[in-house]
Structure formats: C-alpha cells, structure tokens
Amino acid sequence: MTSRLGLFYTERMSDNNNSKKRIYICHTYYHAYVAVVKELILGKDHYGESDIILSTLSNNFGNLDERLREAGVFGQVYMYDEKDASTSPKVMSHHCNRGNLIANMFQRILYTRELGKLQEPYIPVDLKLYKDIYVFCDSDPIGYYLNYKKIPYHALEDGLNSGKLDDQALLANKRAFKFKCLLSKIGLIFIECGYGRYCMDYEVNDIKANHNVPPNVIEVPRRSLTDKLSSSDHDTIVRIFLEDADELTVRLDSSSHDKPFAMILTEPLCEPEVRKRLFKDVIDMYKNDHDIIIKPHPRDVVDYEKEFPECITIKGRFPMEVMNDIKDFKVDKIVSVITQVDNVRFADSIEYLGLDFLDKYEDPRIHRRLDTLQ
C-alpha cells in the first residue's frame, strides 16, 4: 500500500499498547479452513495469538464454532450477525438509480457510509485492538464497516482462484470504473478486492488465475501453506471440520468396493430441480466404471442422499480441501463443474467439466458474466 497509509497504520497501532496480534473474518467454511491452516503452520507456540469471526450472513456454520474452540488454535471464536443492506430501509433508500452518474455517485457515497454504520451494533469485538485483520470476501458489509471506521486490513480472495470466473470489483462497477476506483481510494465510496482506501493488500492463490487484479495484489499459493502442515496438523483439521471422521473413514474404505471411486463435487448452481438433473447426468457419465461419492457443497441444500441412494453421499458441511487431510484417503477421479480443484491431492485424475457443460442447463448469461467485458 502507500507509505501514507502505512504511516497512518503504524501510528494507530503505536497508540494501542494492548493490541492483539491477528483476527480472521470468515464467511464460508473455506475461509475458516484457510484461516486454520495459516495459524497451524505457525506452530503450537502461537496457538491462541489470533481470534476468528464467523459471519452468518450467507452461511450456516452449525457447531463449527464449538469445534474451533475445542481445538484451541484460536484464542476467541466469535459469531457475527452481519447485516445485509436489505435489512435497512434507510440503507436501501440510497440504492436506486437516480438517472445520471453524478446523482448516483452522491447516493453511492451515502450508501457506503450507511451500510458501514449499520454493522456497528453487531460487530462482536473491537477490531481496532488487532495489529492485523484478515478479511475474506470484503465485498460483504464488513468491508464497508472497515472503510467507515477507517480501519486498515488485509483482503483475501473469496475462494480458490475465484477471480478466474468472476471479477467482483469490476462487474459491480462497470460504468466509470477508473473514476470510481479514485473515489474508493480517497474513502468516499467502497470497492472490494483491493481497491478500498484501507485495504493494505489483496491476497490470492495465483495472480495469473485472475481476470483482473489491483496494484496491491500479493500471491500466496495455498499449496505452499498446506505443504508446511505436519501430520498432527492434518489430524487437527479433520477434527475441526469433520463431525463424523471415524464413520466417514469406514464408508470411504476403497477395499470394500469392487470399482474405484469417482467423487463428484456439487455446487449451488441453477435452480434446485435443474441442479438435480444436472448432477444425475454427471453421475450417469461415470457410474459404469466407478462407485460414486457425492461431496455436497456447504451451501448446497439439495438432499443428494435421498435423490441418489445408490451413491455414497458425504454428510456434514466442510470444504472439499479437508479431504486432503484424511490419512490414506484416495479416489480414482474427482469431477467438478466449475469449482476450482487445483489443490486436490487425493485424486489420481481431475475432470473439470467447465462452463460449456453448464451452458446446457442454465442461461449462459448467468454464469458467463465476464464475457460481457470482452
């Protein structure tokens, strides 16, 4: 970031002798997984130095908070009832088209402030106490809050290589993007993913796997993090994210099956009924040569066990990456529609069906949003 912000940040922290070291603000299981990995590789001597916040805005974390506390990796585990703009008529009054760029920009300035202000009663801890704040998906209201309170933070990509098929900052600000970036840099409005005034850097897995990146982007390959995990670290991850680890291990014992496993990753794509048809077709593509394992996405609410009783459906909500941490677990093939699976280590081969396959089930304009920018 700029030296001006760096100076501001140093001065702010020097005034706070009781500051804590780190806090992670997570919106998904994948976010929590990355936060856990980052803390584990620091070693047990650093357990408890950092805290973690789980936002309930778009995800049901079940009892993950309890398992995180039991593991002892984080000092405090907080839940955050993050408020979307739609919960406030006052905020939404600044979220309509006024007919011209100037009027809309003044309205955007008010919206930025009011959405940030809306969060204030719900933030579970004073974020100014922390030296480093790591925020996954700062496009959510927490980003507006940090901008409103003028708190520097580090942003991290929403999902593994999520910028490959999306560009949240540009797609949300297609008209006069460069001008809006200027307003964001001076704090009048807020743009996510590295373009905000108080965003010190934007961390991604692979810079080349992004459609577009801000100047303050940094590359931290997830593989370089997981390579540093010890055997006990892998066990800790499994205990945190899998409620029925022992039962699951028995169900996934390949020695009790005649055919090799193919694991199909579901995703919250299309409408539920269309999604069922899509994944039935995927199952039919592989079932003759494989026994099928279905790994539902944490936000996918379709009951795949009921829909496809002939398959092994993995219960519980956890990120696909956790399968890497299960000792001796292997499958012949993993199949993904659009989920990025670069970090999969438990599969001998990977099949990525891609957008061309998804085009058959959904209007391409829904999932090919970046095509409009070409």
pLDDT tens sequence across 263-307? 999 999 899 999 999 999 999 999 999 999 999 998 899 999 999
Please state which of the ranges 12-21, 128-137, 159-168 shows the lowest mean pLDDT: 12-21
Q: Which amino acid is residue 58, in one-letter code?
A: S
37-85 confidence digits (pLDDT tens) = 999 999 999 999 999 999 999 899 999 999 999 999 999 999 999 999 9
Give the pLDDT of residue 257. Answer: 79
Give the pLDDT of residue 10. Answer: 42
Q: How far apart are CA 265 and CA 161, in angstroms?
A: 16
- For 220, the token pair is 């931290």
CB 111 within 8 A of CB 118: no
Residue 373: pLDDT band with limits 50, 70, 90: low
Give the pLDDT of residue 328. Answer: 86
Q: Determine phi and psi for 350, rounding to 5 degrees.
A: -125, 135
Q: How far apart are CA 171 and CA 368, in angstroms?
A: 11
3-state secondary structure 248-305: HHHHCCHHHCCCCEEEEECCCCCCHHHHHHHHHHHHHHHCCCCEEEEECCCCCCCCHH
Please state which of the ranges 10-19, 92-101, 130-139 shows the lowest mean pLDDT: 10-19
The three-state secondary structure class of 88 is coil
The three-state secondary structure class of 45 is helix
Domains of the chain listed by start with CATH number: 3-225 (3.40.50), 244-373 (3.40.50)
* % of the chain exceeding 70 in pLDDT: 93
* % of the chain exceeding 90 in pLDDT: 74
224-241 confidence digits (pLDDT tens) = 999 999 999 999 999 999
